[in-house]
Amino acid sequence: MPTQTPSTACLLVIGNEILSGRTQDEHIPYFGKCLNKWGIHLLEVRVVADNKEAIADAVNVCRARYTYLFTTGGIGPTHDDVTAAAIAKALGLPLERHPRAIKILKAYYGAERINDARLRMAEMPKGAELIANPVSKSPGFRVENVFVLPGPPLVLQPMLAGIAHELTGGPPVLARAVSAELGEGAIASGLEAIQEHHPEIEIGSYPYFRDGKLGVSIVVRGIKEAALSDTLQEVINLLKDLGGNPIAEVQD
């Protein structure tokens, strides 16, 4: 069999707060480690300001040069969130409100809290596929080989775990997720036991704060469907045993 050229990647970190020195970047080491694991070569990182032209320029150079381009930041509801518009501009696509993103946002915020600013988070280039957000719901998106993710690491990290199976770097990885309002410390030893019984499955635990409540999302990843289902069932059983009310999360 011929040797395949390995997949390559670029990470584009978007945010004035990184360039000003106010916020220490956490994405570079996180992507570095994830992509190592997935056999995808992270060859370049760029950090640019919340500026449409700067973002669009970097996106067009980097999406052409690498197998995958990941962006972080600038997809919230405020005036300084310009990433979606910049990417639409870069790809020459219209910016539209994604119908399923609207649904997700309306369901999450409810009739009283949904407003026009929050609905701006549904704006994406036409044809974008959603990236599920188990922490704060507002989805990221993918267009072609560009993956658009939010800035806060606690929100981004479970989203990245959830798209691993879309990347070519090794055998495809399947993922399932379940969440419950339990602290990570409460489930840790049980989860570890499950992991030990299923060394071929990767179990990830991601704490979240949602509507003022602490919770945890468990993501199970692996290449064998049967082992994955077995593991997920054990995780669900664990969460139930500990008094949680596990809710399966939709994976794109």
Sites for its own copies among residues 7-66 (CB under 8 A): 13, 16-25, 28-33, 36, 42-50, 54
| In the complex, minimum distance from the CB of residue 110 to its own copies, in angstroms, rounded to a whole number | 12
Q: Are 138 and 121 in contact (CB under 8 A)?
A: yes
Nearest distance from C-beta of residue 77 to its own copies, angstroms: 4
Binding residue for its own copies (CB under 8 A) from 66, 70, 141, 208? 208
CA triple 108-141-125, angle to 5 deg: 110
Nearer to its own copies, 93 or 119 (CB): 119
Give least dist CB 1 to its own copies, A. Answer: 26
The secondary structure of 172-234 as a DSSP string is: --EEEEEEES--HHHHHHHHHHHHHH-TTSEEEEEEEEETTEEEEEEEEEES-HHHHHHHHHH
Q: Which stretch binds its own copies (CB under 8 A): 93-101, 159-167, 211-219, 223-231?
A: 211-219
Q: Which is nearer to its own copies, 132 or 203 (CB)?
A: 203
Q: Is 178 in the site for its own copies (CB under 8 A)?
A: no
> Can you tell me which of 97, 100, 117, 241 binds its own copies, judged by CB under 8 A?
117
Total interface residues for its own copies by CB under 8 A? 72
Could you count the other beta carbons within 10 Å of the beta carbon of residue 188? 12
Contact residue for its own copies among 6, 39, 115, 171 (CB under 8 A)? 115
- Which of 60, 96, 106, 109 binds its own copies (CB under 8 A)? It is 109
- What is the footprint of its own copies within residues 67-86 (CB under 8 A)? 76-80
135-174 residues in contact with its own copies (CB under 8 A) are: 151-152, 154, 173
For its own copies, give the closer residue by CB, 127 or 251.
251
Nearer to its own copies, 33 or 100 (CB): 33
Q: CB atoms < 10 A from the CB of 141, how many?
A: 23
b/e code 28-53 from CB counts within 10 Å (16+ = b): eebbeebbeebebbbeebbbbbbebe
Count other C-beta atoms under 10 Å from residue 86's C-beta. 26
Nearer to its own copies, 1 or 97 (CB): 97
Question: Do residues 123 and 95 make contact, with C-beta atoms less than 8 angstroms apart?
Answer: yes
Stretch near its own copies under the rule CB under 8 A, chosen from 91-99, 109-117, 124-132, 158-166: 109-117
209 binds its own copies (CB under 8 A): yes
CA distances in angstroms from 11 to 35, 93, 166, listed in the order given: 11, 22, 16
CB of 127 to its own copies, least distance (A): 25
> What token pair was written down for 31?
């992507």
Terminal-residue alpha carbon distance, the chain: 32
Residue length, the chain?
252
